[in-house]
Amino acid sequence: MKLLIALVAMLALVEGSKKPNIIIMLMDDMGWGDLGVYGHHTKETPFLDKMAEEGMLFTDFYSAAPICSPSRAALMTGRLPIRNGFYTSNGHGHNAYTPQDMVGGINETEILIPQLLKTVGYRSKVIGKWHLGHREEFLPLNRGFDEFFGSGNCHFGRYNDIHTPNIPVYKNDRMVGRYFTNFTIQHGLSNLSQIFLQEGLDFIEQEVAADNPFFLYWTPDANHDPHYSSEMFNGKSIRGGYGDTVMEMDYCAGKIMEKLRELKVEDNTFVFFSSDNGAATYRGTGSGSNGPYLCGKHTTFEGGMREPGIAWWPGTIQPGTVSHQPGTLMDLFTTSLSIAGVDVPSDRIIDGQDLMPVLTNSSHTWERAIYYYRGNELYAARVGPHKVHYWLWTAHGNKEYHHIRCPGRYVPELMFHNLTNSTDNPVTINLDYDPGENYPNHNHNVIKLVNSYVEEHQRTMVPGWPSLDWCDHAVDNWAPKGCEDVNYCLPIPESNLHLCGWPN
């Protein structure tokens, strides 16, 4: 049976006129433990649970960073943020992202998924949160996408448009309004997710009707604080406002798969569901769940970087399968190219690996290293079930043992108020036996094994130019292209270029 499935998949790939469609659904701050299929007790995600039942569940799937922008840059390029430049050198081992005063964005020398898929006839659209730079040269239509509906930034606000402008929403390369004012978010209520859903459904219908292979990158940000949900879901979850957003994302994922079935293209469409980083547990009961894993967003503990991962491709992926093969968001770059029959760029190191052998045979595994970076420092690495912590940090602030990123948890050998170098005596964890990282050890055989991968990794590491170092209030979203169309251009202040400050 597995051989037959593999042969069907291979035949689909070689028939150039029937190149498979690709959909990546990337959530924002959704935790590993937020879905019923990963054990959440509320069981409020029936569509994603069914997706796993009909496809493949990854138990050990990772982001490439514990914060949004670098994680998304890694997905789009197949390369660690330290390679593609989505990190800061303003502070050792600090996280950074792309707020609206960020000058930089994704480096023009990086090659993104849609640019490569375009070479073999794919049409591509991104919907939701881009977060790889909001200035015109960094926006999606200048980086390979054919269509865009969403924002270059997260939906932070509400702002007064005097000291700080509200975040613009784009249709393709032109602003069509702003969050909070034109696209309202009020007391956790907004129809944005339904707008993003309809944009996705319309794109699928459009490209199927035109007989084009397509790539849809669907990445709404409702799970990110301040949370929002539509009237259909607002106040419905027993988990509160965050739970409402999880229920709505589940519904939207179900609607996208329902549309594929309606158009009879489900057997020719690869769909993958994941999240950009772990749940923001420092927000307490208003955040998501990382299941049994330690801490959350901003940290390199398992809760910060282990993500939900569900693959769905009827007729290619055997239903109800589970894979313990470690995977990363960067693998979606390489896997997408494999599915489309596009060669991986040979002029640079690509960190993502092809998951097709696993997708067509769930028992297929191979040994690889997973690298846990924060900014410009490698904090930890994993090989097999063995994780080694080289650098440790948990909190910032004035209280010595205020472990803000890990509320309710304290593991003495792992949690430090200040950035702590443990490279001379690394901490080891066996994630098979201790997934919650509760029992740190110093196993010298494990250290030797993991160090052998780390040393080779560091030997070939050439960091990219840091894109997240410089900020300037003048590059905020005062007057984006298209603002004149909606009579919503704001005066641009004088430039004040300065090094960005990153406390995390």
- Catalytic positions are 68, 131
Decide: 350 and 344 in contact? Cβ < 8 Å: yes
DSSP tag of 24: E
Decide: 316 and 360 in contact? Cβ < 8 Å: yes
Widest CA span in the chain: 66
DSSP tag of 183: B
Can you tell me whether residue 140 is helix, strand or coil? Answer: helix
DSSP tag of 176: E
**Where does 38-158 show beta strands of DSSP type E?**
56-62, 123-129, 147-151
The backbone torsions φ and ψ at residue 161, rounded to the nearest 5 degrees and listed phi first, read 65, 10
What residue type is 41 in one-letter code?
H
Can you tell me whether residue 72 is helix, strand or coil? Answer: helix
Instruction: Return all residues near 17 (Cβ < 8 A) that are at least 6 apart.
Output: none
Q: Find where tokens 């003495």 sit.
A: 412
Cα torsion at 297, 301, 302, 304 (round to 10°)? 10
What residue type is 403 in one-letter code?
H
How far is 194 from 417, CA to CA, in rounded Å? 41
**CA 455 to the chain's CA centroid:** 27
How far is 438 from 78, CA to CA, in rounded Å? 32
**Radius of gyration of the CA atoms of the chain, in A:** 22
How far is 24 from 310, CA to CA, in rounded Å? 10
* C-alpha dihedral sign at 471, 299, 382, 73: negative
Instruction: Return all residues near 164 (Cβ < 8 A) that are at least 6 apart.
Output: 100, 476
* C-alpha dihedral sign at 431, 432, 436, 440: negative
**Strand 420-421 versus strand 427-430 pairing type:** unpaired
**Strand 214-219 versus strand 123-129 pairing type:** parallel
Between the alpha carbon of residue 284 and those of residues 244, 298, 302, 304, 352, the distances in Å are: 16, 14, 17, 15, 33
How far is 130 from 218, CA to CA, in rounded Å? 10
Decide: 112 and 104 in contact? Cβ < 8 Å: no
Nearest to 204 by CA among 22, 13, 18: 22
